[in-house]
Amino acid sequence: MEKSIKFALKMIMAGRKKEDVLKYVNEEIYEIAYARYLARNKISFYDKIYSDIEGIKKYATYEDVAKYKAKRLKCNVLADLGCGVGIQLIFFANECNFVYGVELNERRYKYCLKNLKKMKIKNAKVIHGDALSLDVYNKIGDVDIIFSDPSRKFKGEISFENLSPNPIKIYELYKNKTENFAFDLPVQIKKDKIPFDCELEYQSYLKEPFRATAYIGDIKKCEKSVILLPYNIRLEYNKNLERNLKFEAKPDEFLYLLDRTILIAGLVPEAIEYIRKKLNKYVKPLYMDKRRCLLTSNEFIKSEMLECYKVLKICKENNLRESLERVNAGRVYPRFEIDPEKYYAYKRSLERGLKGKNKVYIFKINDSYILTKKIY
Ligand SMILES: C[S@@+](CC[C@H](N)C(=O)[O-])C[C@H]1O[C@@H](n2cnc3c(N)ncnc32)[C@H](O)[C@@H]1O
């Protein structure tokens, strides 16, 4: 089987079509090979794993995120309820003395067993069944932490009823075994929608919002936090910080776009404090809406939580064209709210007739256009 999967993976990597590959291998082999192909940007041991396509495409965690979570949840015994093909479980097993995995889907359960064997994991027991059944509950011994990364039953509304297994039901059933629970949730979730006393930790991976984890019990460290991976920048909610930000009327020499996950987490004051205290740089809020938060400073600041732009010119709409010519713009990148369907037409209309060589990024605050050059 392994030989056929490797052969199919080679064909897929070479860009061969599914029909071509299926002339040599069956559907299952093709699917495992394709799942490995999809996993190549997520997991270093992608060429060893067994998975269905959905198990990797929709569910499997990035290795850096899985490692981070396993380190944070390091304990004696942990149970992962709804472990899928076991990617996160492998990393838990590397940190904990013993782990349980529970998976309802028979095929994923079998692949999970294979993956643990391939990765030479010996301190794990995988159970096939419904994590919410008494049968499974009774097969799990003493545990320190219950973890679950549920799948969404259907697209759309983020509610606990839409998650499987439902974290509320897991909590009710397993609360006699431990008081420590960690639930992975969609990153769009708001803290007031969570019916637990928990720390809600928002995670970004390579600057994109990725997931949120609710930590309940002793493993809760604060009310809300954000972790930017793989950079390991962590911010915690600080109730003593002023939350009504005062926005500057105009940008200074540099404009900074703050990591969006920090904005989603509502931890902008903590980010400004971090820059002031840890990086020893002075930065001020300039603008904030649902999608972006802009900060400004006369100082150059290097941080993984920021994108840095140098301000070239500020103008109004009626002299936008003239200003773009003045700063030798060639390509233009609007960085403000535009109907996505109209974005490229608008960008092209701005670029028409420009003869310069510079790439110019445009931010808009009220009726002012800020023309900038991207530094990083
Ligand atoms: C998001 S995936 C987990 C992915 C996993 N964390 C990984 O890193 O590969 C959620 C899994 O929970 C399983 N599941 C859903 N309801 C369940 C239940 N009641 N009991 C056990 N497993 C369940 C699904 O079949 C799915 O494989």
Q: If pLDDT is split at 50, 70 and 90, which confidence band does 152 have?
A: confident
CB 201 within 8 A of CB 227: yes
Residue whose CA is closest, atom 27 of ligand 1? 84
Q: If pLDDT is split at 50, 70 and 90, which confidence band does 314 have?
A: very high
The alpha carbon of 98 is separated from its chain's Cα centroid by a whole number of angstroms, namely: 27
Angle between helix 2-13 and helix 27-39 axes, rounded to 10 deg: 60
Residue whose CA is closest, atom 17 of ligand 1? 165
Torsion of CA 177, 180, 186, 188, to 10 degrees: 140
Task: Tell me, yes or no, whether 246 lies in a domain.
Answer: no
**Within the chain, what is the greatest distance between any pair of CA atoms?**
73
CB 350 within 8 A of CB 324: yes
Quick one: which atom of ligand 1 is closest to the CA of 108? 27
Measured in Å, residue 106 CA sits from the centre of ligand 1 at 11
Mean pLDDT across the stretch 31-54?
Answer: 94
**What domain count does the chain have?**
3
Domain region containing 129: 58-236
Residue whose CA is closest, atom 13 of ligand 1? 82
Residues 183 and 308 in one domain: no
Residue whose CA is closest, atom 4 of ligand 1? 84
Which of 178, 172, 176 lies closest to 160 in space, CA to CA? Answer: 172
The answer on pLDDT for 60 being more than 90 is: no
Measured in Å, residue 291 CA sits from the centre of ligand 1 at 31
| Cis, bond preceding 230 (omega within 30 deg of 0) | yes
Task: Tell me, yes or no, whether 320 lies in a domain.
Answer: yes
Residues 227 and 91 in one domain: yes
Mean pLDDT across the stretch 162-185?
Answer: 96
Task: Tell me, yes or no, whether 317 lies in a domain.
Answer: yes
Can you give the length of the chain in residues?
376
Measured in Å, residue 108 CA sits from the centre of ligand 1 at 9
Q: Check residue 272 and report its DSSP letter.
A: H
The answer on pLDDT for 359 being more than 90 is: yes
Which of 54, 105, 148 has most ligand 1 atoms within 8 Å of CB, for mutation?
105
CATH code where residue 224 lies: 3.40.50.150
Q: Kindly report, residue by residue over 174-228, the tens digit of the pLDDT.
A: 999 999 999 999 998 888 889 999 999 999 999 999 999 999 999 999 999 999 9
Task: Tell me, yes or no, whether 199 lies in a domain.
Answer: yes
d(CA 80, CA 89): 7
Residues 79 and 226 in one domain: yes
Spell out which residues line ligand 1, taking CB within 6 angstroms.
Answer: 59-61, 81-88, 102-105, 108, 130-132, 149-151, 164-165
Quick one: which atom of ligand 1 is closest to the CA of 148? 6
Q: Which amino acid is at 2?
A: E
> Is beta strand 198-205 parallel, antiparallel or unpaired with respect to 224-229?
parallel
d(CA 351, CA 169): 55
Q: Check residue 9 and report its DSSP letter.
A: H
Task: Tell me, yes or no, whether 50 lies in a domain.
Answer: no
Which of 181, 204, 236 marks a domain boundary? 236
Q: If pLDDT is split at 50, 70 and 90, which confidence band does 32 have?
A: very high
The phi, psi pair for 50, rounded to 5°, reads: -110, 125
What three-state secondary structure class fits 149?
Answer: coil
Quick one: which atom of ligand 1 is closest to the CA of 80? 6
Measured in Å, residue 87 CA sits from the centre of ligand 1 at 11
